[in-house]
Amino acid sequence: MKKLIQSFVPAALLAAGTLAAAAQDFPSKPITIVVPFAAGGPTDKVARDLAEALRKPLGTTVIVDNAAGAGGSIGANKVAKAPADGYTLLLHHIGMATMPTLVRNIPFKVESDFEYLGLVNDVPMTIIGKPGLPANNLKELREWLQKNKGRVNLGNAGVGSASHLCGMLFQHAMGVEMTAVPYKGTGPAMTDLMGGQIDLMCDQTTNTTGAIEAKKVKVFAVTTPHRLTVPALKDVPTMQELGVKDFNVTIFHGLYAPKGTPAPVLKKLNDALKAALKDPDFIKREEALGAVVVNDKRVEPAEHKKFVLSEINKWTPLIKAANIYVE
């Protein structure tokens, strides 16, 4: 037994030395950020902005890989099962808080299968409609919805997506049931909205600001308690301002690594993330899209995880009450 223990000691020391050396050399090759949604959507936009901002502090190329499907769980599972070496990361939004309830037979645990690296931004939502919609404000929209009960299509980026959740709250607030039209990502949903194939959508400013500015869609309200400062949205009223109380939906994005990633690697990734969040170009790009770059304690891993767990507690009863699931 003594010889057996002695044989294990050098092996353990060798393994520890190998990990330390790998962490010291990290990163020695490109890093991939997995986005669990289609290219062209709001989370994809954030990921590509972040990838560019991380390139300098990490000293390596950062690639974006889209792995869409099943409410964001396919991409998340890809990262959960990836080697824990820091080279495969996940950028996810509020789905990290809704997947545990939304996705049946989810193949991972949000609470324990990831290392939390820090939050990236907070993103408001906008209530938007097709260009030819006869309503020009929320009052007229409510009247139009009442007149067209059973004939209104409300698009979203897929079952369980941020736009789906916001859309459910919007239907409840308007007191009118609409036909939900799920797409495989926000990009195709926006294309059909601009083309008039669907009537309405509630989506993130990161995806809607450009279309609003170009007048390719009609905007009725933002979902934050206060008006936004973005030039294209500064004159858009809030839902609360228009008389819809407690309608506050903000989407967050966070960065994650597989569970078991070495602590020194996590430290380098978190330091790089903090540097990226202070990058003037990154801040400018996010603000132009209506997103607010995080500059509070949620950039710390422990606070990031604490926040996500609080969001799980917030959304779980709402999703259960709506009885919606992703297979």
The DSSP code sequence of 75-123 is HHHHHHTS-SSSSEEEEE-THHHHHHHHBTT-SS-TTTSEEEEEEEEEE
CB hemisphere CA count around 240 (13 angstroms): 10
CB hemisphere CA count around 320 (13 angstroms): 8
H or E stretch at 21 = helix 2-25
pLDDT digits (tens, 9 = 90+) for 260-289: 999 999 999 999 999 999 999 999 999 888
Q: What is the mean pLDDT of the chain?
A: 90
Q: Give dist(CA 253, CA 311) in Å, integer.
A: 12
Q: What is the mean pLDDT of residues 27-56?
A: 94
* Whether the predicted pLDDT of 259 surpasses 90: yes
Provide the pLDDT for residue 18: 54
**E strand segments, the chain:** 31-35, 62-66, 88-92, 114-129, 153-156, 179-182, 200-204, 218-222, 250-258, 292-293
Provide the pLDDT for residue 245: 86
Cβ-contact 266, 182 below 8 angstroms: no
Q: What is the mean pLDDT of residues 236-253?
A: 91
Q: Give dist(CA 287, CA 34) in Å, integer.
A: 23
Confidence band for 12, pLDDT divided at 50, 70 and 90: very low
Enter the DSSP assignment of 2.
H
Token pair listed for 44: 């994809």
- Angle in degrees, CA 217, 282, 271, rounded to 5: 140
pLDDT digits (tens, 9 = 90+) for 148-191: 999 999 999 887 788 888 998 899 899 999 999 999 888 899 99
Cβ-contact 304, 118 below 8 angstroms: yes
Task: Say how many residues make up the chain.
Answer: 327
* Whether the predicted pLDDT of 10 surpasses 80: no
Does residue 238 sit in helix, strand or coil?
A: strand
Enter the DSSP assignment of 53.
H
Q: Give dist(CA 243, CA 250) in Å, integer.
A: 18
Provide the pLDDT for residue 170: 93
pTM value?
A: 0.81
CB hemisphere CA count around 251 (13 angstroms): 30
Does residue 200 sit in helix, strand or coil?
A: strand
pLDDT digits (tens, 9 = 90+) for 169-178: 899 899 999 9
* Whether the predicted pLDDT of 16 surpasses 70: no
What values do phi and psi take at 325, rounded to 5? Answer: -145, 155
Provide the pLDDT for residue 9: 53
pLDDT digits (tens, 9 = 90+) for 77-92: 999 999 999 999 999 9
Q: Is the sign of the CA dihedral 191, 196, 197, 203 positive or negative?
A: positive
Provide the pLDDT for residue 325: 76
pLDDT digits (tens, 9 = 90+) for 214-244: 999 999 999 998 899 888 899 999 999 999 9
Name, in order, each residue with C-beta under 8 angstroms of 14's C-beta and a sequence gap of 6 or more. Answer: none
Cβ-contact 72, 95 below 8 angstroms: yes
- Cα 102 to the center of its chain, rounded Å: 15
Cβ-contact 50, 91 below 8 angstroms: yes
Cβ-contact 86, 256 below 8 angstroms: no
Which of 55, 56, 54, 81 is CA-nearest to residue 67? Answer: 81
29-33, 139-143, 322-326: the lowest-pLDDT one: 322-326
Confidence band for 323, pLDDT divided at 50, 70 and 90: confident
Number of other CB atoms surrounding residue 127 within 10 Å: 27
